[in-house]
Amino acid sequence: YLLQQAHYRRFRQYAVLPQLKPSLVWGHMKALHEISLRGRPGQHFDDTALDIYESLGRPPVFVVDLRPVSYAILVVANHEVAEQISRVSPLFPWSVTKSPTNHANDQLVGKDSMNVKEGEDWKALRKRFSLGFAHQHLMTLLPLIMDKTWQFMKHLDSYARTGEDFPLGVLLTNLTFDIIGVVSLDVDFGAQLDKAHQSEFIQVYQQLVAAFEGQDNPFPDPKGRFRRWRLSGKMDKLLTEMVKQKLSEYQRLDSKNKARSIVALASNDSEPTTPDTLGMIVDQVKSFIFAGHDTTSILLQWAFYELYRNPGVLNAIRSELDGIFGPDPDPAVVRDKLLSGEDDTMARLVYTSAVIKETLRLYPPAGTARYSKPGTGFKLHMPGDNRDVDVDGLVLYNCQNIIQRDPAVYGETADDFVPERWLGNTDTSMKTNDDLAPGEKSGSKVPGSAWRPFERGPRNCIGQELANIEARVILACAVRRYDFTKVGLGELDLDANGHPKLNAKGVYEVKSKLYNTRQVTARPIDKMMMRVQLNPNASFDI
């Protein structure tokens, strides 16, 4: 009986869906391992998925069976299929429910996190915190973001002075960590300070994240489990104290000087702070930290790298900044103009926004995994062959890395870094053909569902506007002040005279390919090792 069951699960249950040849014992684990060995050491699953996709002849979806160690996964490689998962449907009023695999991060984000809640509980949380993430409100927090960006540039200045190699990824991750602290809770985590002056919270958090590395290992790891449990308890204790203190501070402020952090906006003066409310707020702050710092840092790491490799793009972004802020690359000029209250300066950073959008297309840091329980009756419509497939019991993974490189959408330049594709009418906000009135045309050059780094539908990223504001501010301040040089993996291939070689597409040739690895998120494997020089027109005085 058991053999028959195993045979059914491996060879017949999902046989209508494209997949590699499964083995009775290992499912696809062995094949996956072999494919990843042919790839680059430590590469992210998304890169392995791309290889499988190519080897299967580019199907819209395919199955990777990891049972019994994990679930059978449906990797979604087509934007029209991905959209059916993220949008509202009669079976799922707030899009398909999140996958149980998301609970692997419970100790980092908390079990009451907006990330994992469902139904009315999720809706109430989302509503409560949305106000703080609105563009207008975030713009009032700009001085805090600027202040933290200044600290980041001081670090870059000191590396420019010494000329030593440094991990840009670490600097950016500390910067985005600090930004989340001040914006969400009005707390300075001091992540950008040296070890002796950093808050205890950041140190415990970093140890906890490190304890999560290697958690994909399928074998029991009691020592790792215990370490994660101990550190997450410690982190909760520290954060609960901070939140408690902040809530009582907020309550003491009079109505004229109201606190402006995201948590302050979401807390209600007349509501008593019960242990439940406190726990709920702590879990949301943990979620904002988890979802909001690494992702934005990864976006910026790849943006700086692509600007370094694409001299034409670097010139174009610099001339946009010259046009808006004047030719002086002094970031104080940028700061003063952005803080002057002329709200349209942000909106005028059109090419800078295109650089951000193109970076997120080629290097999406996060993704979404959903799950429809067996027996629900959820079906996906396959484009092309006009059939519906039952996908209950599969983890549904929208693989942005494949979807956003689809040549059917992005043409021959699908794998190239071309911010220009985002100029003109390229609105990829929520509208899809389904949302349009009869006869209405979206007019966008790119279908909205084919660009989804923040995912789409009701459970899209609540922090996307914050990430966009941060990225624009940091690029506007740093892009003209510094010249970066990649060292190690991904560095330029120089000719006999020491000059970079420009290829036919206007991109510098590299000696080796830089790629992402998985450490909770998809991030550059070498922490983006760089060297930096001050632009000859800039001075060390900021």
User: Which residues contact ligand HEM by CB under 6 A?
Assistant: 98, 114-115, 126, 180, 287-288, 291-292, 295-296, 299, 365-368, 453-455, 459, 461-463, 466-467
Q: What is the DSSP letter of 508?
A: B
Nearer to ligand HEM, 36 or 359 (CB): 359
Rounded Cα–Cα distance for residues 111 and 115 (Å): 9
Q: What is the dihedral of CA 270, 273, 277, 282, to 10 degrees?
A: 120
Task: Give least dist CB 197 to ligand HEM, A.
Answer: 24
Was 399 annotated as part of a binding site?
Answer: no
In three-state secondary structure terms, 485 is strand
Tokens, residue 527: 């922490």
Nearer to ligand HEM, 60 or 367 (CB): 367
Task: Give least dist CB 126 to ligand HEM, A.
Answer: 5
Rounded Cα–Cα distance for residues 286 and 111 (Å): 10
Tokens, residue 363: 């290097």
Task: Give least dist CB 8 to ligand HEM, A.
Answer: 30
Task: Give least dist CB 466 to ligand HEM, A.
Answer: 4
| Amino acid at residue number 143 | P
Task: Give least dist CB 16 to ligand HEM, A.
Answer: 26
Nearer to ligand HEM, 61 or 145 (CB): 145
Rounded Cα–Cα distance for residues 80 and 406 (Å): 12
Nearer to ligand HEM, 86 or 310 (CB): 86
Tokens, residue 181: 């602290």
Residue 173 contacts residue 185 (beta carbons within 8 Å): no
Residue 63 contacts residue 74 (beta carbons within 8 Å): yes
Residue nearest to ligand HEM (CB): 463
Report phi then psi at 72, rounded to 5. Answer: -85, 130
Task: Give least dist CB 160 to ligand HEM, A.
Answer: 26
Nearer to ligand HEM, 288 or 325 (CB): 288
Nearer to ligand HEM, 189 or 508 (CB): 189
Residue with tokens 């600007």: 307
Helix 29-38 and helix 45-55, axial crossing angle in degrees, nearest 10? 100
Task: Give least dist CB 300 to ligand HEM, A.
Answer: 9
Nearer to ligand HEM, 179 or 532 (CB): 179
HEC letters along 288-349: HHHHHCHHHHHHHHHHHHHHHHCHHHHHHHHHHHHHHHCCCCCHHHHHHHHHCCCCHHHHHC
List, as residue ranges, the binding site: 461
| Known binding-site positions for heme | 461
